[in-house]
Amino acid sequence: MSDQAILRFDAVAPLRARVAAWRGAGESVVLVPTMGALHAGHLALVARARELGRRVVASIFVNPTQFGPTEDFSRYPRDTETDLALLAEAGADAAYLPDIATMYPPDFSTRIVVDGLTEGLCGQFRPGHFSGVATVVTKLLNQAQPDIALFGEKDYQQLLVIRRAVRDLDLPVAIRGVPTLRETDGLALSSRNRYLSAQERAVAPRLHRVLTGIAEGLSAGAEAGPLVAKGHAALDAAGFAPVQYLEIRDAETLAPVTRADRPVRVLAAAYLGRTRLIDNVAALRS
């Protein structure tokens, strides 16, 4: 591990003062919001942040409002000391670790709800999830006041929801997506991969293979319906259960695809045992 120092903030006022001082000195600031349990995908976000700006702040906060009552909030992996060491090693300048009372005081009563974009895909299976995400991200952006904030494309619907909230609320920050980092067998990096048993881990890359198969079929001119049906059957056969969705959507609006002349995204969510995996790939229809 590196012994490079990383500043640590737990409260809003000192964080804002530090960021304001950097920006006042002409140093642009990039925020990388995370829920901790950092892996190489997060560190790729930090690396990209260092390319885009002079100063990098990473936040770590496991946000309760984006977990449903039966989801994994209580068992979500937490290892702050390792996360801080990884961030220091990756060259982040500061870590922001707000506590629950800073983010949600007892009489907290405001929610950000983004309509439309949140209604299908993960939104259908995780009621309230995107409102929790939009609310916490709006707070983090307002607390840190960065020039740029980065989000991974693995959570593609989340990225679009955040972009829309930022645009609709005129928040003075640029939102950038960063391509998904993958294991050599194609599995998208995720903090939840550590829940997978050895047997599940061996099956998990099938999700990406099915998505890329559909993307390749689309660019070769095949029809969407049969491609999706075949992909669904392949996931069922591999042991994903349930497959919550496997869909082709407009890459910008997430609307069901009706026109062939726009970029699309192939997106899926499926369980392997108790672990919910999501992934998506870009596709062009010919």
Least distance in Å: CB of 33 to ligand PAF? 4
Give 187: exposed, middle or buried? Use CB within 10 Å, 0-12, 13-18, 19+: buried
Query: What DSSP string describes 210-246?
Result: HHHHHHHHHHTT--HHHHHHHHHHHHHHHT---EEEE
At residue 243's C-alpha, the angle toward residues 284 and 218, to 5°, is: 15
Site residues (vs ligand PAF, CB under 6 A): 33-35, 63, 66, 133, 136-137, 155, 158
Least distance in Å: CB of 157 to ligand PAF? 11
- Amino acid in position 245: Y
Give 13: exposed, middle or buried? Use CB within 10 Å, 0-12, 13-18, 19+: exposed
Least distance in Å: CB of 112 to ligand PAF? 12
Q: Which is nearer to ligand PAF, 93 or 155 (CB)?
A: 155
42 included as an active-site residue:
yes
Q: Which is nearer to ligand PAF, 130 or 240 (CB)?
A: 130
Q: Which is nearer to ligand PAF, 90 or 136 (CB)?
A: 136
- Choose the catalytic residue: 42, 129, 208, 232: 42
Q: Which is nearer to ligand PAF, 34 or 280 (CB)?
A: 34
d(CA 246, CA 271): 12
Least distance in Å: CB of 222 to ligand PAF? 32
Least distance in Å: CB of 41 to ligand PAF? 10
How far are the Cα atoms of 35, 85, 123, 152, 273 from residue 156, in angstroms, in the given order? 17, 28, 12, 7, 23
d(CA 260, CA 250): 10
Q: Which is nearer to ligand PAF, 152 or 217 (CB)?
A: 152
d(CA 246, CA 235): 10
Per-residue burial over 219-235, b = 16 or more CB atoms within 10 Å of its CB, e = otherwise: eeeeebeebbeebbebb
Instruction: Give the active site residues.
Output: 42
